[in-house]
């Protein structure tokens, strides 16, 4: 899992109980300079770290699964775009571009979206006050056009900020369903 900006693993790990109950091994890391991690917060370094982490973990597992939220979705798309092997990935409320914030265009999620996006589930929320529709819609729409499953739920806020446990559980159910059997998911464009 790749976290969003300003998230640390200690805050999120408890929310991932459903993953372990479904027999997933969950790896969650603090980025450089986040939580108790050393180093300076640099997006290029974070992306390179995750390419290395993903390649290393892929050696130990038959199925290769990724879940990225917000900034973490951008990180995961850079991992996927670099050619790291994967079987399914969920990109949850990621911005379409980072270059609008001064980052190099080459790391934009849109640039790293695979031509065949059929292994992806892109989730956005209509109540997301962190990354609104104009910041996420291009990625979701482009991914859908390339075969990704997409959900733009009217009740979803930003990941792990949903207003009720019921809504949070609905989101986690979508994530788990895609990671367990991505080919059986619904093609939703909402």
Residue extents of the structural domains in the chain: 9-184
> Is 9-184 a CATH 3.30.1490.20 domain?
no
In terms of pTM, does the model score above 0.85? yes
Question: Residue 183 — very low, low, confident or very high, per pLDDT cuts 50/70/90?
Answer: low
Q: DSSP labels for 156-183?
A: --STT--SSHHHHHHHHHHHHHHHH-GG
User: Residue 125: is its pLDDT beyond 90?
Assistant: yes
User: Residue 184: is its pLDDT beyond 60?
Assistant: no
pLDDT (average), residues 94-114:
95
Q: What is the pLDDT of residues 161-180, one digit of tens each?
A: 999 999 999 999 999 999 99
pLDDT (average), residues 119-138:
96
């Amino acid at each position: 899992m790749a976290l969003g900006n300003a998230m640390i693993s200690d805050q999120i790990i408890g929310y991932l109980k459903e993953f372990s109950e479904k027999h997933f091994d969950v790896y969650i890391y603090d980025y450089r300079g986040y939580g108790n991690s050393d180093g300076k917060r640099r997006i290029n370094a974070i992306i390179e770290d995750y390419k290395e982490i993903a390649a290393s973990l892929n050696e130990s597992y038959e199925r290769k699964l990724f879940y990225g939220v917000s900034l973490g979705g951008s990180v995961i798309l850079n991992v996927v775009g670099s050619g790291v092997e994967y079987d399914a990935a969920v990109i949850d409320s990621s911005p379409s571009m980072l270059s609008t914030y001064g980052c190099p265009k080459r790391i934009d999620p849109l640039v790293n979206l695979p031509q065949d996006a059929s292994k992806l589930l892109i989730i956005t929320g209509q109540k997301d006050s962190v990354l609104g529709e104009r910041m996420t819609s291009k990625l979701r729409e482009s991914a859908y056009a390339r075969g990704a499953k997409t959900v733009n739920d009217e009740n979803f806020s930003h990941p792990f900020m949903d207003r009720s446990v019921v809504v949070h559980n609905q989101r986690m159910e979508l994530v788990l369903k895609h990671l367990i059997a991505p080919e059986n998911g619904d093609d939703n464009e909402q």
